[in-house]
Amino acid sequence: MALSEAAVLVCFCENRHMALFRRRRSNDPTDSAATAATAGLAAFWEAWPSLRSALAESVDSGAPVDSETSERISALLRAIHPDLDWEIGEAPEPRAGLEDLDLSTDIDPAVLLEQLAALDDPSKLTDAPAYALTLRPGVSEEARIQAERWFRAAPEDDRWLFHPVRPADHDRLSSTVLWDEHELDLSHVSVSMRVDQANGRIDVGVYHPDNMFLSDQTRQAVADHVTMLALGEDEVVRWVGKVTSLAERPLDPLPPTSMPAVAEQMGDLLGGTGGWVTLHGRLPLQGPVEILLRHPVTRRDFPALSLFVQVLVPYTDADGDRLPQESSTTALAELETGLARILGEDGALFMRQTGSGQRMYIYYLDPDSGVLPEFEAALMDWPQGGVQLRTQLDPKWSQFNLARRPYVRRLGR
């Protein structure tokens, strides 16, 4: 896709004179909130050993958590972020597949037989967690960031699973629930979906044959519950516009388990090939520029990544338009592969701009992962000139949003 010169001018060309590995402190007032959240995370996991038994007893008995424990957990989570809610329950049954089998030559045959038996009876996986503690950040992006940090800081616990957000759970879509003294078999639910491609949203209608016997409030609660089970909290926030309880069965009813496929199709429509788009343009007095942009991407895709890292890498083997060729193209590709390997799940590339003898990268990293020093070290030995790097805590992705804004407008979202 071609871009006008005016659109390209907003890229970070003014940063050519940055000092090597410059640190920049953010003046964002949310910094103090982040500091408080860090203290809150430490306090929660320090208190966890004294909380887990009471929570397990509640799950086993089916009774509410005692008020003292409930209030304590809520207070601990509010110290992390005031919008965080929570719930507990039984852990999902483990699912063993062929990919989980240990087929090494020295495997004990008895162990292999146990693994094969577990394929037919997951309950034989006796070391599986029995309980799950799930946070509920809702629509708040800041709360979702802190929920992810909470999850990554969680200790090993062989009896508990920890979820930073409510996951999809299609098994429960065939279960029976008791809602305001009404027993509802969710396997009878059907849904309608209307795709609003212009706004990147899906409007969902949820029908149950017993809706006629339920109050409006209960019907809406059941519709929201079904949608959450079908998609999970992140996908609901990302894709769902409006959820409506239906009084009549849809003309073209679909099972709620089909909702993830519709959301995936929406992402394909908006995201191009592989979630990346390539754009071309020209900079006045400098020549052609090539831009690789991650699109679409939302805060829900990478909730832990809040450290902005901008890298400027010069190259020496360039063509007449000062774009990389041959040896520099190969070297840059190897550098990018190495950086991706170092980052793993602790960071990601968001944007790449190439032109005028240098390549600019925008990465975001998890600041709590400790991966930044190794990331920097991999840049130190670049043989084609001095690399410049700038970092800044940016939990709202303000820097990336500024850089991508003109391109997203042209892409329609």
Can you give the pLDDT of all 413 residues of the chain as single tens digits? Answer: 455 433 443 343 333 333 344 554 445 545 667 788 889 999 999 999 999 999 999 999 999 999 999 999 999 999 999 999 999 999 987 655 445 555 555 666 666 566 566 555 555 555 689 999 999 999 999 999 999 999 999 999 999 999 999 999 999 999 999 888 899 999 999 999 999 887 889 999 999 999 999 999 999 999 999 999 999 999 999 999 999 999 999 999 999 999 999 998 887 776 544 578 899 988 787 789 999 999 888 899 999 999 999 999 999 999 999 999 999 999 999 999 999 999 999 999 999 999 999 999 999 999 999 999 999 999 999 999 999 999 999 999 999 999 998 887 766 55
Sequence-separated (6 or more) residues with CB below 8 Å from residue 338: 378
Which tokens in the block code for residue 76? 């601990």
Q: CA-CA distance, 342 to 375, in Å (whole number)?
A: 7
Burial of 28 (0-12, 13-18, 19+ CB in 10 A): middle
Which tokens in the block code for residue 215? 């109050």
Q: CA-CA distance, 351 to 291, in Å (whole number)?
A: 7
Sequence-separated (6 or more) residues with CB below 8 Å from residue 393: 25, 26, 28, 31, 34, 306, 307, 308, 367
Are 196 and 202 contacting, i.e. CB atoms less than 8 angstroms apart? yes
Nearest to 312 by CA among 99, 36, 21: 21
pLDDT of residue 209: 96
pLDDT of residue 17: 34
pLDDT of residue 13: 37
Distance linking the first and last C-alpha atoms of the chain:
15
* Domains of the chain, residue spans: 5-30+272-302+304-411, 32-163, 170-267
pLDDT of residue 101: 52
Sequence-separated (6 or more) residues with CB below 8 Å from residue 312: 15, 16, 18, 358, 359, 360, 361, 387, 388, 389
User: What is the Rg, in whole angstroms, of the alpha carbon atoms belonging to the chain?
Assistant: 25
Sequence-separated (6 or more) residues with CB below 8 Å from residue 297: 275, 350
Q: CA-CA distance, 371 to 376, in Å (whole number)?
A: 9
Cα–Cα distance list, 280 to 15, 232, 393 (Å): 20, 37, 29
Are 172 and 331 contacting, i.e. CB atoms less than 8 angstroms apart? no
- DSSP SS3 for 178: strand
166: number of Cβ within 10 Å: 21
